[in-house]
């Protein structure tokens, strides 16, 4: 019984220590962000890796989500003759919730894993130490560009996701379920407020920072060769995804409660 409690205690301390270390890394990154030199080239490169290369998967996912959402809500709403609300439901669900969350999860799985694996490999092959010996601050050179790229690209990807999802919903409703296009579009825009869109994008910003911080931290502190890199990568993806889902709940409470 005692040893059982002890184990939980140890585990809790470990977790708290990690959270502390990650926050420290984050605050260091913030402190150094505006001190020259700024590695613009690395920021652009990471925007490409995190953002541009994620566009196809994000588009496919949100398109199919838009299609299914329209189909499902149509058949559901038909039971109480509310088919004309499909456009509203699709638009609201995507902008407030599914757009940012799906984008976050996809980027965590795709770019976050790559980020942790790349930094982890650099750690175990002493490339991060080599940066230090060349008098370049590794946090500035490697982590800050990833933070910026996450912060900038996640909302942009989310805009794409929202749009293509809504277009998908429209397509299914108008082409396949014979909804009236004019009414559909009116229903979509009528109830959609700027707050819905910006709230969703704010979520995306938070997710972008979460992914970059967690995956950079995991990669940066990798230990123990190839096995270590594997562990860091898996850990990075799982933790980012959980944090996205948890923070989504609280952000939703804060942003959309009224």
Partner 1 sequence: MIEVVDIHKSFNSHHVLSGVNLTIEKGESMVVLGGSGTGKSVLLKIIMGLLKPDQGTILIDGTEIIHLREEKLNEIRKKFGMLFQGAALFDSLSVWENVGFGLMEHTSLSKAEIRNRVTEKLAMVGLKNIEDKMPSELSGGMKKRVGLARAIAMNPEIILYDEPTTGLDPIMADVINELIIKLKHEIHATSVAITHDMTSAFKIGDRLALLYQGVIHRIGTPEEFKHSEDPVVRQFVTGSSVGPITAG
Closest separation in Å from C-beta 44 to partner 1 = 14
Q: 255 exposed, middle or buried (CB, 10 Å; 0-12, 13-18, 19+)?
A: middle
* DSSP letter assigned to residue 37: P
Q: In terms of CB distance, is 136 or 245 closer to partner 1?
A: 136
Q: How near is the Cβ of 108 to partner 1 at its closest, in Å?
A: 22
Q: What residues between 129 and 148 interact with partner 1 by CB under 8 A?
A: 129-137
Sign, CA torsion 54/157/162/108: positive
CA triple 120-201-59, angle to 5 deg: 70
Nearest CB to partner 1, comparing residues 138 and 168: 138
| Segment 112 to 131, residues that bind partner 1, using CB under 8 A | 121-122, 125-127, 129-131
Q: Which residues inside 46-65 make contact with partner 1, applying CB under 8 A? A: none
Closer Cβ to partner 1, 105 or 122, answer by number: 122
Residue pair 101/157 in contact (Cβ under 8 Å)? The answer is no
Q: How many residues bind partner 1 (CB under 8 A)?
A: 15
**Closest CB to partner 1 among 6 and 223?**
223
CA dihedral for 63, 66, 72, 78, sign (positive or negative): negative
Residue with Cβ nearer partner 1 (25 or 163):
25
Residue 35 Cβ, how far from partner 1 at the closest point, in Å? 8
Give yes or no for residue 27 binding partner 1 (CB under 8 A).
Answer: no
Residues 145-204 that bind partner 1 (CB under 8 A): none
Q: How far is the CB of 143 from partner 1 (least distance, A)?
A: 13
* CA distance linking residue 54 with residue 59, whole number of Å: 9
Integer Cα distance of 156 and 52 in angstroms? 10
Q: How far is the CB of 140 from partner 1 (least distance, A)?
A: 9
Helices in the chain by DSSP H: which ranges?
2-33, 40-46, 55-78, 86-93, 99-107, 113-124, 127-133, 138, 144-171, 181-190, 194-220, 225-256
The sign one gets for the Cα dihedral 97, 148, 139, 42 is: positive
Nearer to partner 1 among residue 47 and residue 192 (C-beta): 47
Q: How far is the CB of 237 from partner 1 (least distance, A)?
A: 21
Question: Considering beta carbons, is residue 36 or 56 the nearer one to partner 1?
Answer: 36
Nearest approach, Cβ of 201 to partner 1 (angstroms)? Answer: 31
Tell me the C-alpha distance between 26 and 204, whole Å: 18
The Cα-based distances of 219 to 116, 144, 222 in angstroms read 4, 14, 5
Interacting residue ranges for partner 1, rule: CB under 8 A = 37, 121-122, 125-127, 129-137
């Amino acid at each position: 019984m005692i040893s059982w409690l002890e184990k939980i205690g140890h585990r809790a301390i470990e977790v708290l220590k990690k959270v502390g270390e990650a926050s420290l890394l984050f605050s260091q990154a913030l402190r150094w962000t505006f001190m020259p030199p700024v590695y613009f080239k690395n920021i652009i490169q990471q925007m490409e890796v995190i953002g541009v290369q994620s566009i196809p998967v994000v588009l496919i996912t949100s398109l199919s989500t838009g299609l299914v959402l329209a189909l499902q809500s149509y058949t559901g709403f038909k039971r109480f003759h509310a088919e004309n609300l499909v456009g509203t439901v699709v638009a609201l669900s995507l902008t407030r919730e599914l757009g940012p969350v799906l984008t976050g999860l996809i980027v965590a799985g795709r770019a976050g894993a790559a980020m942790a694996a790349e930094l982890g490999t650099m750690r175990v092959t002493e490339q991060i130490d080599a940066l230090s010996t060349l008098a370049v601050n590794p946090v500035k050179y490697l982590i800050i560009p990833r933070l910026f790229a996450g912060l900038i690209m996640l909302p942009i990807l989310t805009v794409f996701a929202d749009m293509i999802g809504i277009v998908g919903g429209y397509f299914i409703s108008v082409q396949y379920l014979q909804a009236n296009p004019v009414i559909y579009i009116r229903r979509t825009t009528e109830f959609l407020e700027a707050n819905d869109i910006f709230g969703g994008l704010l979520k995306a910003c938070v997710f972008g920072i979460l992914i970059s911080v967690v995956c950079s931290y995991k990669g940066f502190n990798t230990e123990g060769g190839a096995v270590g890199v594997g562990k860091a990568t898996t850990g990075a993806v799982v933790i980012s995804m959980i944090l996205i889902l948890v923070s989504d709940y609280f952000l939703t409470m804060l942003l959309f409660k009224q």
